[in-house]
Structure formats: structure tokens, C-alpha cells
A = this chain, B = another copy of it.
């Protein structure tokens, strides 16, 4: 039992480093960039609050577990900003390696369980992973509108790019949220 706890704590200590992975998004008071650990907390809260907006029938508990684990691979692979310049195939291979090393610190049963949850999220095929992926895209535009542009300004983003990179996944998993959010983003781009 002690070996098992040793492995559980080795993983939990390593996971602490997600607090030092910075994203392209900012806090809503625009004081600093956001890290992937606090982002993970916030998207879980978004999912719980917006559960009634999920397309289809979803197990919200499965969604919360996906969002709890979804960014841990960034400890090794880093964050890839959606408006940034990266090769999705290279990034996917790096994340696969990261998942093996990081979840590999855990006892076998937990390792299998967590990798299955993470792969389900990545695949984006189940109703739960579609909703989780939709929710993951929502906070940054909401914050960017509050702080005068944020990552949209940094990356010179257009409304067309937002429709494609943000709108498509949100509409796929939470269409009512996109119907509410899109006119606000569109009005923001008209003004700026």
C-alpha cells in the first residue's frame, strides 16, 4: 500500500508544475497571463454552471474529470495557443509522449483510467468530450471582450478565424452558448 501511495504522490507532486505553464489568455482584471492549472479549475466551473447548455445527453461527472485532466500533458508539451503557429501532428505526438510519462507515474489502474479519459477528450467524439471541448473554448473570448482584446490583439485575430477556431467547437458541443456569444463578439469586432 505504501508503494501505491508513493506512486500516487509522485504524480501529484509532478502535476503541481501545471501551475507554471502559462497560456496566451489573461485574467479578467488583465494583471497577468493565466496558467493552465487555474484555467482547468475555471473551465470545470464553466462546465458545471453551463451543463444545461450541452448538446445531447451528457454525464457531467465524466466532463468534469476530462477537464480536470485535459491539460496535464502541457507540463511536458507546453501550451499551444489556438491562434499561434504550430504543427498539430507534431503537437499531438508530443502530447502522447507526455501522457505516457506523466500518467505513467501512477499505479497501473489509475494510469489506464486517466489515459482513457484524456484520449476520449482528445478524440472529441463522445457527447461528453464535445461538450468539454466546447467549454474549453468559451472563457478566453469572454475575457478578451472585458479587457480590450487580450490574445486577439496579440495574435491579430479576425472574426473569420474566431468563427472557425472557436465557433465551430463551441457550436458543436454547446450551440446555445455560441448563439449567445457570437453576436457579442461580432459587435466587439465592429467597434474595434
Contact = CB atoms under 8 A, between A and B. Distances in A.
Contact of A16 (B9, B27, B50, B176): B27
Interface string A1-33: 110010011011101111110000001110100
Interface string A39-76: 01110111011100100000001001100110000000
Interface residues of A: mostly helix, strand, loop or mixed? helix
Interface in A51-109: 53, 61, 64-65, 68-69, 106
A45 B13 CA distance: 11
Contacts of A139: 12
Interface residues of A, number: 46
A98 B65 CA distance: 27
Contact of A68 (B9, B31, B64, B177): B64
A45 B15 contact: yes
B2 A45 contact: no
A135 B159 CA distance: 44
A39 to B, nearest CB: 8
Q: Which 4 A-B pairs have the closest CB atoms?
A: A37-B38, A41-B41, A16-B28, A61-B61
